Amino acid sequence: MSGLPHIAELPPPGRGSRRLFYAYAGVALVCLATGLATEMYALIGLPVLLWVLAQAFLDFRPLFWLLLTMIPVSTNIFLPGGFGTDLPTEPLAIGLTGILILHAVRHWPEYDGKAFGHPIAWLLYLHIGWILFTTVFSEGILVSIKFSLAKLWYVGAYFLLPLLILKTPRRVSIMVHCLLWPLLFVAFQTLVRHGAYGFSFAMQHKTMHPFMSEHVSYAGCLATMTPWLFFLRWWMKSRGQSTWWWALLVLPIWLAAIYFSYTRAAFIALAMAAAAYYIIRWKLLKPALGLALAAGIAVAVYFVHDNRYLDYAPDFETTVSQQQFDNLITATYKLEDISTMERFYRWVAAGHMVPYRPITGWGPGNFLDHYKGYTVNAFRTYVSDNEGRSGIHSYYLMTLVEQGFPGLIIFLLYIFGALIIGERLYHQQTDPAARHALMAALLAMLVVDAFNIINDQMETDKVGAQYLLNLSVLVMMGNYRAINKASHNAPTPPSRLKAT
């Protein structure tokens, strides 16, 4: 089946439909007039909310596409009590997850067991299950509950729901369009604003607001979408469409945006993705991941043995923020860059926290509230007060601290297992479009995995949402078989989610 369960034709417009339209228009006008007259401007948004609810129950695919379109342009706001949210993506994700639950209650027997019971899906379920388990033993239960709930609606909106929608390469291409063009707009406006400052390294953080909170999210979002840029070019060429605009317009803006993000992790991650393309083609991903894991363990043992990490403590006076990108690269090599050494400061604290709670960890989301009691003053920098409450800057280490050794092992099984299974699906797939989609998804996930070594972007809608979407593409394009192409490519009527 190429559509959602319970596909049905919408009835032709009739007298009842016209009455419904007139009633809705009347409600919209009344809300508009009342809101303006009473200055209760929230009433003006009520008709939109009513439309969203109605659309969700008639056909939730447009809301899913809307959610994807909003990812690049969403903005993060802080709420009382130290919490924050992403608008409008998080409310949309919560709503779509709720709709998915209602849909599953009604239509679960019709769901595709090969998708929802896929080995990749079970690896994700195991990871989520451990997060929920460690929440029970958390040092800060409220923070962990919020973290766990956010994780659940991320999985619902960005992984489970796509299993109902991204069933064909054409649907995957729609996903790419929904993400690409808003992100290209963000990149273009950032470049224009950045150009007004002469592309100054010191001023680049001012040019991406309100769409990106900082340059790492911006660069991570761009880098993760880069493999899909090449998929889109192949997709359009395979259908005889012109791609001159891709080479002369999109690609130059894209590469300039990544370069002027001045984010070292993006350059390294994309270089690794380029190498990974050939590694996957040559079926060498499993030994490559084994070498990467061995190297990570070796580095950890080297620094821990005889407290060797103390030899790398920075000089407080010379470790400062850099105003030029060339100086940043040099300072990084000399261990005098403040962002690099502040990472060391937090990583050392994390290493001291682990022995106190090695099994269940400190609880999801709890590193920030507890790490300062375990820091080493020798690694302190000018920004160690952490007024912006930025994280640990290593998702793997964060997982170890907050979820214990079992949590880190499960997480590594999840991400490595998905990549290894994805490589196998790529070589088993015979449909060219599905194969190209599988390769793009694998490379995009590898970009995120590389970013996570020295960043923690997995819980953001800019990067983490893309990771789960790529995971769903692996499942669906791995299962895709090009049978009855005409029925796959024909427009399908909207599916209905009947009220329970």
| Per-residue confidence (pLDDT) for residue 314, from 0 to 100 | 67
* pLDDT tens, position by position, 25-59: 788 788 888 877 887 767 777 777 777 777 777 78
DSSP label at 203? T
pLDDT in tens, 377-393: 888 877 788 877 888 99
Query: pLDDT digit string (tens) for 237-260?
Result: 999 888 878 877 898 999 999 999
pLDDT, averaged across the chain: 86
Averaged pLDDT for residues 8-35: 67
The percentage of the chain sitting over the pLDDT mark of 70, rounded to a whole number, equals 85
Question: What confidence tens digit (pLDDT) does each residue in 142-173 have?
Answer: 999 999 999 999 999 999 999 999 999 999 99
Q: Full-prediction pTM beyond 0.75?
A: yes
Give me the DSSP letters along 239-296: TT---HHIIIIIHHHHHHHHHTTT-HHHHHHHHHHHHHHHHHHTT-HHHHHHHHHHHH
Q: Which of 218-222, 294-298, 311-315 has the lowest mean pLDDT?
A: 311-315
Residue 327 has pLDDT above 50, yes or no: no
Nearest 5°: the CA angle 185, 190, 191 is 100
Longest dimension (CA), the chain: 82
**Residue 341 pLDDT > 90:** no
Name the burial class of residue 390, with classes exposed (0-12), middle (13-18) and buried (19+) by CB atoms within 10 angstroms of its CB. middle
* Range with the poorest average pLDDT among 20-24, 234-238, 426-430: 20-24
Banded model confidence at residue 307, pLDDT cuts 50, 70, 90: confident
* 359 in Cβ contact with 394 (< 8 Å): no
* Mean pLDDT to the nearest integer, 399-424: 98
Q: Quick one: pLDDT band at residue 349, thresholds 50, 70, 90?
A: very high
Residue 321 has pLDDT above 60, yes or no: no
Q: Are strands 84-87 and 75-78 parallel, antiparallel or unpaired?
A: antiparallel
